[in-house]
Amino acid sequence: MEDSTTSRIRSTSFLRITLLQVLIPLVFVALSVRLWRLQIVAGERYSELAERNRTRMVTTDSTRGVIYDRTHELLVRNLPRFDVLLIPAYLPEEDEAQEALLERLHELLDLPLGSDFAPPLFPPYWGSAELGLRDLVLQGALYAPYEPILLKKGISRETAFAIEEAHMDLPGVLVEVNSYREYLTGSLTAHLLGHMGPIPSWSQDEYTEEQGYGPEDSVGLTGLEYTYEDTLRGRKGVKTIEVDVAGREVRTVGRAEDPQPGHNLVLTLDLDLQRFAEETLKNAMARVGSRSSVAIVTKVHTGEVLAMVSLPAHDNNLFARGISIKEFTRLNTDPGRPLLHHAIAGQYPPGSAFKLVPASAALEEQIVSRWTLLTCPEDSGILWLPNKYYPDNPALAQPFYCWTHEWGFGHGRIDFVSAVAESCDSYFYLVGGGMLDSFEGLGLERLTTYAEAFGYGNQTGIDLPSEAPGLVPTEKWKRVNYSERWTTGDTYNMTIGQGYMWSTPLQVVNATAVVANDGTLYRPQLVLQTRDVEGNVVRDYQPDVIRELPVSQENLALVREGMRAAVLRGTAEWLQVGGGLKVAAKTGTAEFCESYPECVDEDGKILTAHAWFTAFAPYDDPEIALVVFVYGGGEGAVTAMPVAAEILNYYFQLY
């Protein structure tokens, strides 16, 4: 009995030992195969995943260039801003822990947890304001779990510190220190400098990854920020960082490329002159109850813009910090249109400021000479244009009024220089449209040609976006827009800057400057230099000539003589400048009507007018040209001229 039991025990032990002898090699073989697969077959993949958990390649923003005025006074600078980002790959795997983290972010950042907006699975809408936190996490986890998602820009310092202190409880949540623009002069230069903002959805094709832009980048949207985006923005850098288990940076382990700072701009703008012009213009607006106005000062021999004021203005810092819908709606519905740059985008009838064009054209085309006398009916100031088809029927004749007819008289027989000085409408009616067969005027075709040569009807090309072209009407334009033929009366109105003629204040001052400098039309210029971060000049911007006028210097000299006579004994006689400064000028009063019939009296006379004044100085050696425009300001000599006088006195230090 014992022998059989002992035999069974020995047999069982032998089987177990044999089984272990077989199993142990098999286990080692299996482990070896597994290790071979992990280390050899999939080694590269798992190594990459491990490295990806430990390191991350990130872009580093470049420092955007700043902007100075011509005296190197700082206008724009960069200030630090705290932004919150989230990396989905580092969020807790447990649903409850992840939900608790999102709840905490909801409390800290005041962001919605969910939304009614159902995001499409493709493409991901990174950082969309319409998405809740859960949607953002879902999209990030699906498409780019290691890519940071911007949750909120510009959080407070206190919130940033609270997130950093709780970073162990908020894995995957990062606080980045970025920068935003501070516009030190605010509304004073808002239209010129512009502002930055997120890339608009309709402009995505303009800002590609190949150009170094990411979906969360801010770009220049208006003003010089937009025009000089490539110059100011610099180039991003790339670096590899080591991260901890929460996805936070521990150290930099490699740099692929260092960021390159953007270049700085030095403007042609004289900030003190800009500030003085704005203050003076505001006072004039308050006196007449105007809703908008413009003042521009340029150098006549270079096109440099020394001052360009457009009122009302807005504070571009509102956009830099993130403007609210309420505030944007207020600006957008303001009747003064503070978001519109009136100096370059406001289009108005130029009135008598336009007469410099037909004056120059009439001399060049030999329609008149210095001593040609034309008649402005002395007893009434009313010029009667006979009907083309029934010239002998006085009942069909159409009246055209000189501005003096309100006082019951006209200028009588008047020569060219006196006509410019007195701004005699009747003289210019005849110069532009003639009088049937008795006097040949310029006619529409020649008048249009010269108007365009002076820069009307086309953008000046100033380095600002959204410039309006104005309007130089033609026969075809009227036929297309009004289904009517062009008449001599239309030419009469156009010759005095009324009717269908539209211009921007910048076009008016540019036309004045071209008369002052003997016929060279310059492109208005706002940037003098670009400089690198160390202050070295990268580029000097030279004056840019658009064209030479097809008018002789002798004829332009006669036009200047007429403008000088306007100050000595004409419509600008009451211009008050000191120090014996010789100024040549042209006043303008442009009728307009926006609320018919309220703006017309019982006799059909238009009661509302824009005030214009344009000038250059000194007369003998022109240095600057300027224009002042006051919307609905009435007579140019009453409202706009005093503003111009103060600006001239300030610029030439004639107190």
Pairing of strands 67-68, 249-257: unpaired
Residue 216 pLDDT grade (very low, low, confident, very high; cuts 50, 70, 90): confident
365-385 per-position pLDDT tens digit: 999 999 999 999 999 999 999
Distance CA 308, CA 111 (A): 42
390-445 per-position pLDDT tens digit: 888 988 999 999 999 989 999 999 999 999 999 999 999 999 999 988 999 999 99
- Over range 534-559, report the average pLDDT: 97
- Average model confidence (pLDDT) for the chain? 88
pLDDT of res. 214 = 79
pLDDT of res. 44 = 63
Please list, in sequence order, all residues whose beta carbon lies within 8 angstroms of the beta carbon of residue 197, skipping any fewer than 6 positions away: 218, 219, 221, 319
Share of the chain above pLDDT 90, in %: 61
Task: Supply the DSSP symbol for 210.
Answer: G
Distance CA 197, CA 488 (A): 50
Interhelix angle 356-364/553-569, rounded to 10 degrees, is 140
Distance CA 50, CA 37 (A): 16
pLDDT of res. 252 = 60
Order the strands of the 237-243 sheet from edge to edge.
55-60, 237-243, 249-257
Specify the residue for token string 């190594």. 47
pLDDT of res. 43 = 60
Higher pLDDT: 469 or 252? It is: 469
Please determine, for residue 20, whether its predicted confidence score (pLDDT) is greater than 80.
Answer: no
Residue 632 pLDDT grade (very low, low, confident, very high; cuts 50, 70, 90): very high
Residues β-bridged to residue 84: 152, 175
125-143 core/surface letters (b: 16 or more CB in 10 A; e: else): ebbeeebbbbbbbbbbeee
Task: Supply the DSSP symbol for 83.
Answer: E
Alpha-helical runs (H) found in 435-578: 443-453, 475-482, 488-495, 505-516, 553-569
77-107 per-position pLDDT tens digit: 999 888 888 888 888 888 888 888 888 888 8
Distance linking the first and last C-alpha atoms of the chain: 137
HEC string for 109-173: HCCCCCCCCCCCCCCCCCCCCCCCHHHHHHHHHHHCCCCCEEEEEEECHHHHHHHHHCHHHCCCE
Please determine, for residue 268, whether its predicted confidence score (pLDDT) is greater than 70.
Answer: yes
Identity of the residue numbered 199: I
Distance CA 99, CA 583 (A): 75
Distance CA 434, CA 443 (A): 7
pLDDT of res. 307 = 98
Residue 388 pLDDT grade (very low, low, confident, very high; cuts 50, 70, 90): confident
Other beta carbons less than 10 A from residue 171's beta carbon: 20
Higher pLDDT: 165 or 244? It is: 165
Range 271-332+340-651: architecture per CATH: 3-Layer(aba) Sandwich (3.40)
Tokens representing 630 are 């006051």
Answer yes or no: are the C-beta atoms of 387 and 380 closer than 8 Å. Answer: no
Residue 157 pLDDT grade (very low, low, confident, very high; cuts 50, 70, 90): confident
55-76 per-position pLDDT tens digit: 666 666 788 999 999 999 999 9
pLDDT of res. 386 = 94
What is the CATH topology of the domain spanning 56-267?
A: Penicillin-binding protein 2a (Domain 2) (3.90.1310)
